[in-house]
């Protein structure tokens, strides 16, 4: 067991410094997938429609694979560790029955027969099973892999021939979490080994739910993208193991603050008696809490769970207009991240409002950005009460620095809709993440739902850059979205 954890392409130009690479990313539109899907109306298809609508709202990037380069769209996932691409002969790509069954179709594929740099590592050696029992299987290969104009030579990845997912994944987690017993250097290790970046670390800034874009910066920190000091906490070793396999940190408190200033703390006794790890996973669209924490949050906000069909929790769409001062507070060793309730309301049901069960009492229902782990199929993974998984609905309000190098997480309140950058390069040889401070107060601009194409500028080695306007959206970025079950994988 290992813990780790479709339609808009990224249009990007990128620049590299000595140890910092930047690239822009763009968010998808909920409900839009890579392929055209058949119309669905029956209730037994309802859960799959919801999954597709959720995953359509993710973050996508263009990379190239092979020589000559073949364009491939991938998903960035901090909760897994393997990169994999689809073969044009993959079952899902060629079988209409499977496309109907899984309500997905394939994006760009990679054809190994058209590349001069392809090399087979292990036939049938790649196999991952996700928490929803979805799988991706195929060969392990090595191939040249280009992202942000930078080529990683001989990157090991999966070449998938059997899958229920129509888009490849770029996992950037710990190598201990790769889907094979023989550990190999994944992309974050290779970026460092090939001296493209200096430190195995990257910073994630998703921006708010209305924004079309966010950024990931490899090898650096953008101090204009967060507010106040960057709070540094240790990454926990995975339960029962003496190694780091996932980006888990201590989750120490939860509460709700209302617009009138009153507040309610949630299940403080649980935090006093239980070591509760939180996995920070960009590859999960939603966030998941143990039932003992999720249920009180649902009660406080009037959210209702559909126990009849999907097991998913919904909330009244009226909360989209909530005052941003109404927040859910997540605490990590003394640092609180405040997530506005309106950031947790996903208006993705569209025409499927009519198939909602009668137990959902709203005139217009929205998906709630927090779900209970009680509804996970945990028979092959983890006990539901033992962890929280904080996905994009949480991460959009946080600025997170993931350091594989130092086994540390840096976390701060995101400065939403920032339109400038001040990038600090992370230096090889540093014993820890640096103590840095962001802006003193939040930006005042609102997010947009329109897609913006960004051109990056050159960075001098070791520089701190201050830029204005849309340049701030350009960072070495690949993007992330996963199935609704998200981020936890079991690898064989």
CB-based contact 257:54 (threshold 8 Å): no
What is the rounded CA–CA span in Å between residue 473 and residue 214? Answer: 6
What percentage of the chain's residues is helix, strand, coil (to nearest 5)? 20, 35, 45
Question: CA 481, CA 103: separation in Å to the nearest integer?
Answer: 16
CB of 483 within 8 A of CB of 55? yes
pLDDT attached to residue 113: 98
The phi and psi torsions of 177 (rounded to 5 degrees) equal -105, 10
Q: Which residues of the chain register pLDDT less than 50? A: 1-17, 29-49, 51-53, 55, 378-383, 446-492
Query: Which of these is catalytic: 62, 82, 139, 281?
Result: 281
427 secondary structure, DSSP code? P
Mark whether 77 is an active-site residue. yes
What is the number of helices (H) and of strands (E) in the chain? Answer: 7, 33
The span from the CA of 88 to the CA of 70, in Å, is 12
Closest CA to 443 of 475, 411, 413: 413
- 122-169 pLDDT tens trace: 999 999 876 556 689 999 999 999 988 889 999 999 999 999 888 898
Q: Supply the pLDDT for residue 444.
A: 63
The verdict on whether 307 is a catalytic residue reads no
Joined together, the tokens standing for residue 197 give 């970046």
Q: What is the DSSP string of 57-99?
A: TSEEEEEEETTTTEEEEEEEETT---EEEE-TT-HHHH-HHHH
Residue 1: its pLDDT value, please? 29
User: Cβ–Cβ contacts within 10 Å for residue 132, how many?
Assistant: 16
- Rounded Cα distance between 486 and 470, Å, is 30
Q: What is the pLDDT of residue 62?
A: 81
Q: In the structure encoding, which two tokens stand for residue 265, read together?
A: 């703390």
The pLDDT score that the predictor gives to residue 122 is 98
User: Per the structure block, which two tokens stand in for 305?
Assistant: 């769970």
CB 20 within 8 A of CB 464: no
Q: Do 490 and 81 meet the contact criterion of CB atoms below 8 Å apart? A: no
pLDDT at 9: 25
pLDDT tens per residue across span 386-445: 789 999 899 999 999 999 999 999 999 999 999 899 999 999 989 999 999 999 999 865
Q: Is 342 helix (H, G, I), strand (E, B) or coil?
A: helix
Q: From 285, 295, 294, 293, select the one nearest 343 (Cα to Cα).
A: 285
Dist. CA 206–CA 454, nearest whole Å = 15
pTM for this model (two decimals): 0.83
Question: Which of these is catalytic: 24, 62, 77, 82?
Answer: 77
pLDDT, position 386: 77
Q: Where are the domains of the chain?
A: 12-203+478-491, 230-395
* Separation of alpha carbons 412 and 314, rounded Å: 28
Name the CATH topology of 12-203+478-491: Cathepsin D, subunit A; domain 1 (2.40.70)
Task: Answer whether 12-203+478-491 and 230-395 agree in fold.
Answer: yes
Looking at CATH, the fold of the domain delimited by 230-395 is given as Cathepsin D, subunit A; domain 1 (2.40.70)
Checking DSSP bridges between strand 168-171 and strand 70-77, what pairing results, if any?
A: parallel
Distance CA 238, CA 246 (A): 7
How far apart are alpha carbons 409 and 193 in whole angstroms? 21
């Amino acid at each position: 067991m290992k813990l780790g954890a479709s339609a808009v392409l990224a249009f990007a130009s990128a620049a590299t410094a000595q140890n910092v690479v930047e690239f822009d990313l763009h968010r998808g539109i909920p409900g839009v997938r890579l392929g055209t899907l058949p119309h669905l109306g029956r209730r037994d298809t309802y859960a799959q429609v919801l999954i597709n609508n959720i995953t359509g709202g993710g973050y996508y990037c263009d990379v190239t694979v092979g020589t000559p380069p073949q364009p491939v769209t991938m998903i960035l996932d901090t909760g897994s560790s393997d990169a994999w691409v689809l073969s044009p002969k993959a079952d899902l790509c060629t079988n209409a029955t499977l496309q109907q069954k899984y309500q997905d179709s394939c994006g760009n594929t990679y054809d190994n027969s058209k590349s001069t740099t392809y090399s087979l590592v292990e036939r049938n050696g790649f196999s991952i099973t996700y928490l929803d029992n979805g799988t991706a299987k195929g060969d392990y290969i090595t191939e040249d892999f280009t992202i942000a104009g930078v080529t990683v030579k001989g990157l090991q990845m999966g070449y998938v021939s059997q899958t229920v997912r129509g888009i490849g994944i770029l996992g950037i987690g710990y190598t201990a979490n790769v889907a094979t017993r023989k550990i190999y250097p994944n992309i974050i290790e290779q970026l460092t080994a090939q001296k493209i970046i200096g430190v195995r670390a990257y910073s994630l800034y998703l921006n708010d739910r209305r924004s079309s874009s966010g950024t990931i910066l490899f090898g650096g920190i953008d101090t204009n993208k967060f507010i106040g000091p960057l709070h540094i906490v240790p990454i926990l070793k995975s339960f029962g193991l003496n190694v780091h396999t996932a980006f888990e940190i201590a989750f120490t408190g939860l509460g709700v603050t209302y617009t009138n200033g009153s507040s309610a703390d949630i299940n403080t006794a649980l935090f006093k008696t239980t070591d509760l790890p939180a996995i920070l996973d960009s590859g999960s669209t939603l966030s998941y809490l143990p039932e003992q924490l999720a249920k009180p949050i649902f009660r406080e906000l009037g959210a209702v769970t559909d126990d009849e069909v999907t097991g998913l929790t919904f909330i009244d769409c009226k909360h989209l207009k909530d005052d941003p001062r109404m927040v859910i507070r997540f605490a990590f060793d003394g640092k609180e991240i405040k997530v506005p309730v309106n950031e947790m309301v996903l208006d993705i049901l569209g025409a499927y409002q009519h198939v909602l069960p009668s137990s959902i009492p709203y005139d217009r229902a929205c998906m709630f950005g927090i779900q209970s782990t009680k509804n996970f199929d945990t028979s092959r993974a983890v006990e539901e009460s033992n962890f929280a998984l904080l996905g994009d609905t949480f991460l959009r309000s946080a600025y997170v620095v993931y350091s594989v190098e130092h086994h540390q997480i840096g976390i701060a309140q995101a400065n939403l809709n920032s339109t400038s950058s001040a990038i600090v390069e992370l230096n090889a040889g540093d014993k820890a993440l640096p103590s840095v401070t962001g802006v003193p107060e939040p930006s005042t601009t609102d997010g947009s739902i329109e897609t913006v194409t960004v051109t990056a500028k050159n960075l001098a080695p070791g520089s701190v850059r201050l830029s204005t306007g849309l340049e701030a959206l350009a960072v070495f970025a690949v993007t992330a979205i996963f199935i609704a079950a998200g981020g936890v994988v079991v690898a064989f």
